[in-house]
Structure 1
C-alpha cells in the first residue's frame, strides 16, 4: 500500500507547474474589468434591496467564516481588508436579516435534535487572533450575535506568526529576490526569476508551499524566517489562554483547529491523529470543557482525515462554499467565506441561496 500524503505528494521540485501557481496567485489578486463590473452589480443589488435574506428551507442553515478584523481598512499592499467599521456593517446586516445562533445549536438542528430558525446562521472565526476578543467581541455583543472561535492551541500565548501572513510581511518589507534566495528552494528561485509583481510572487510562493508535505514547507519557511526575521505585529498576534477563557466567559464557543495548523492532507495519518488529540486534550485541560467542534486548517480534508476527525469531534467545518442542510455530512459542513464589503457578503448569501433553490428537487405533483 502506498504511503499516504507523502510519496504521492513528493515530486521533483523542477517539475512544479509554475504557470498554474502564478495563474492561481493572479486570480486571487488582480481584478479584471469583469470583476469590477460584478462588484458594481453586487453593490447595486445590495442598496436596491435585492440582497436581503431569503427564507432558507426547512432544516437549512448558513455558516460564515472569518479570520481576523483589523483597525485599518487596508493591508500591507494597500488592499482592502475587513476593518472594524465594515465589520460593524456586517453585524448590522446579519442581525437584521438572519437569526444568528451558535454553531453547536446549528449542528443540533442539522442532526435533528433541535428545531432550526428559518434563517439560522452561525459565525465562525478560524485561528484564534487577539483581535477576535478586542475588536470582534464588542461589535457582536452590541448586536446580540453569538460566534464560535476555532483555536490553534500550539499558537496560543506565543509570538509566532501564521506562516502565510509572515511571508506577506517578508515580501512587502524586503527585495523579492532576497526573500527567494533566503528560501534556498529551487522552485521559489524560479518563481522569483519570472519578473512578477511582489504581491503576485508572494501569493505564488504561498500556493506552492501549501502543496508540499508539511515538513518540507516548514523547513523552507524556517530558512526564510531565520534569514529575514520579522516580529509579529498586533494584527497577527494570537490570543493568550486567559484571553481564550475571557472569550468563553463572554459566551463565545471555543472549537478546535489542530495544535500547529498543518494542512492535514499533507500529513501521515498518525500525525493527523496526534494533532487532533493534542488540540482536543489541551482545550479540555485549559477550559475544563471537551470541544465537540473542529475546523480543518485551510479547509482541506479527505476520507482518511475525515474519519479520524469523527473519532474526536461531533462536527467539523470546511471552506467548501454552500448552504448546510440535513443532507450535509456533519463532519464536512460547508461554510461561506465572508468578503470585505457588506454588499458582497449580502450577494454571496443570496447567490448561495439561489444555487440551492435551483438544485432543490421539485416536489411530485
Structure 2
C-alpha cells in the first residue's frame, strides 16, 4: 500500500516526469508491442496474455507516450543515424513484433487516429499463414481447456509435477520443446496439433502488410521462421533470404532496412552479420534506453512490458506504473 501511494505521489506531483525530462533528454527509447486485441474479439480467448494488450489499454499507452515523449518514425531514426538531422528530445519509436493480423484491425486505426508512425517486424514465413507459432498454439489449446501441461511435459520426455497445470507449468513445458531440434519438436507437437487450432486466422496476409505500410507503419524483418538466430540452421536464409521474401510481398517491393531478433536472442557476431547483410538498424530485446548524443547506434535496445504490469487489480490503466517501468531503464549503447 505504501509503495503504491509513493508511486502515485511521485508521478502525480510531476517529479517523476521532471526526472525523465532531465535524465532521458538525449536518448531514443524503443518500445515493443506484440498483439493488440479487443476482448470482444474471439481471438482474445486463445491469445497469449503475456504478449497481448487490450485495445483500450493500447490507446491509453499511446496517450501516455505522446505526453512524455516525441514519437518518431523509422525514417527519422535512420536520418539521425546518417547524420542528416538530430532526433528531438526524448525521442521514442513504437515497434511491433511477429506480424499479427490484429495489428491491422486494432493497433493501426489507433495509430492513425493520432497520426503516429510505427515499425512492424514481420516473420517472413507467416505472411499469408493462418495459424501462429507453436508456442502460441499451445497457449491457445491450454486456455481453451484442450491441452494439459503435464501431458505436454510427458510427451517431451520430462517428468510432470503432480497436478501441475498452471500457465507457468505450460511455459516450462514449452521451454523444453524450444530446446529440441525441429524434427523432434514436430514429432512431440503432432498429437496436440488439432487441439491447438482455434479455427481463427492470426497472422497477416500480404494485403494487410501493405495496409500497414500505407498507414505509416514501416515494415522490418523478424527472421524467416521465428527460430532464435543462435539456433538457426541457415542464418543466411533467416537474414538475406527472409529480406527478399518480405520485399516480394510489398507494393512497391522495398527490401526491409531494419530487423529485430526473434525471441530477443542473438550474439555479437550474429548482430554484426545482420548489419553487414544490409540492415541499417538492428533491434534487440535488451531492455535499455539508447543514448543518441553522437546519433543513434545501429544496434538498439527495446523495452517491452506486459499488460499486468501497467494496470491495477481492477484492470485499470496506471500511468505511474508505466512511467516507472520506462523512465528508469539503464542507458547503454549495445555495441562499439
When the two structures are superposed, what TM-score results if normalisation uses the length of structure 2? 0.82
Q: Give the conservation status (yes or no) of the 8 Å contact 2:121–2:259.
A: yes
Q: Give the conservation status (yes or no) of the 8 Å contact 1:63–1:335.
A: yes
Q: What residue number does 1:168 align with?
A: 139
The question of 1:112 aligning with 2:112 is answered no
- Say which of 306, 310, 332 aligns to 2:299: 332
Q: What residue number does 2:243 align with?
A: 280
TM-fit CA distance, 1:119: 1.4
Pairs within 5 Å for 1:308-323: 308-312=273-277, 313-323=279-289
Q: Tell me which moved more, 154-163 or 210-219.
A: 210-219
Q: What residue number does 2:326 align with?
A: 349
Give ranges in structure 2 of 5+ residues lacking alignment.
311-317
CA–CA separation in structure 2 for the residues paired with 1:111 and 1:283: 24
SS at match of 1:259: coil
- Say which of 16, 27, 34 aligns to 1:60: 27
Pairs within 5 Å for 1:165-204: 165-172=136-143, 173-174=145-146, 176=148, 179-180=151-152, 184-187=155-158, 190=159, 192-204=160-172
Q: 1:103 to 1:223 in 2, by over 3 A?
A: farther
Q: CA RMSD in A?
A: 3.0
Q: What residue number does 1:135 align with?
A: 106
TM-fit CA distance, 1:322: 0.7
Q: Give the conservation status (yes or no) of the 8 Å contact 2:281–2:298.
A: yes
Q: Give the conservation status (yes or no) of the 8 Å contact 1:294–1:317.
A: yes
The question of 1:153 aligning with 2:124 is answered yes
Q: Size of the alignment, in residue pairs?
A: 312
TM-fit CA distance, 1:345: 2.1
The question of 1:124 aligning with 2:95 is answered yes
TM-fit CA distance, 1:148: 0.4
CA–CA separation in structure 1 for the residues paired with 2:219 and 2:191: 33
TM-fit CA distance, 1:248: 0.8
CA–CA separation in structure 2 for the residues paired with 1:58 and 1:175: 48
TM-fit CA distance, 1:62: 0.6
CA–CA separation in structure 2 for the residues paired with 1:39 and 1:223: 46
Q: 1:222 to 1:55 in 2, by over 3 A?
A: farther
CA–CA separation in structure 2 for the residues paired with 1:278 and 1:244: 18
CA–CA separation in structure 2 for the residues paired with 1:119 and 1:93: 13
CA–CA separation in structure 1 for the residues paired with 2:47 and 2:199: 17
CA–CA separation in structure 2 for the residues paired with 1:257 and 1:92: 27
Q: Give the conservation status (yes or no) of the 8 Å contact 1:171–1:198.
A: no
Q: Tell me which moved more, 161-170 or 36-45.
A: 36-45
1:110-167: per-residue Cα shift (whole Å, max 9, x none)? 4533211011100000011111111111111122221001111211111121222111
Q: Give the conservation status (yes or no) of the 8 Å contact 1:124–1:149.
A: yes
